[in-house]
Amino acid sequence: MEFIGPGIDAIKDIVEFLTQKSRTSNINKRLILREIRDNLKLLSHASRDGVNHLGLINELSNDALTRAFEEGFKFRNLRKGKVTTTLVTKLNQKRGEKYIGWDMEQLVMSIEGKINELKRLPKIYSNMSTAPLNLTLRLSNLYLQLRLLALFIKSGR
C-alpha cells in the first residue's frame, strides 16, 4: 500500500512552517512542534522500497507529547477550534473525514496513542513479518493524522 499524500513540495512547506512556528519561548510548544515535524519527516520515507519499518517505528518519538500531557499543557494553545471539512479536503483522503469536528487535544491524544501502540508491538510479536498486523496501513494512518495536525495548526495562524 502506497502512502497517499501531498508531494515533496507540500511536505517541505509543512516542515518549514513547523520549524518557523517552533521558534517560541514556550518550551512545551517548541518541543511538540519539533516532534511533529521530525515524525512527519520520518514517516514521509515509510513507503519507499527497502525501508525498515521496525527501525522507523523505533525512531518515532512522542516524548514531547507525553511530557505536555503530564504537565497539563493546554493543546488549544497550539490551535483553537475544530477540524473542518475544508481542512480535511486538503488531505485528499476519504479516511480523513472521521476527524471532522475533532479538536487539537483529540488529535494529539490519538497520535500519541498510535505511536505508543506501534512502539509496543515488537515487544508483543516476536516475528513482526508474520504478525497479523498491517504496519504499512498503521504508519499511513499515523502519517495522515500528523499531516492533518500540522495543517490544522497552520490554518490557525
The Cα 141–Cα 26 span in angstroms is 29
Question: Does the residue 77 lie in any domain?
Answer: yes
Question: Does the residue 2 lie in any domain?
Answer: no
Structural domain count, the chain: 1
User: H or E stretch including 111?
Assistant: helix 104-124
Of the candidates 62, 71, 59, 60, the one whose C-alpha atom is nearest the C-alpha of residue 28 is 71
**pLDDT tens per residue across all 157 residues of the chain:** 334 455 455 788 889 999 999 999 999 999 999 999 999 999 998 878 888 888 999 999 999 999 999 999 999 999 999 999 999 998 888 899 999 999 999 999 999 999 999 999 888 888 877 788 888 889 999 999 999 999 999 998 6
Check residue 128 and give its pLDDT. Answer: 72
Question: Does the residue 46 lie in any domain?
Answer: yes
Sequence letter at residue 32: I
Q: What is the CA radius of gyration of the chain?
A: 15
Q: What is the pLDDT of residues 1-10, one digit of tens each?
A: 334 455 455 7
The Cα 47–Cα 4 span in angstroms is 9
Q: Which structural domain, as residue segments, surrounds residue 43?
A: 8-155
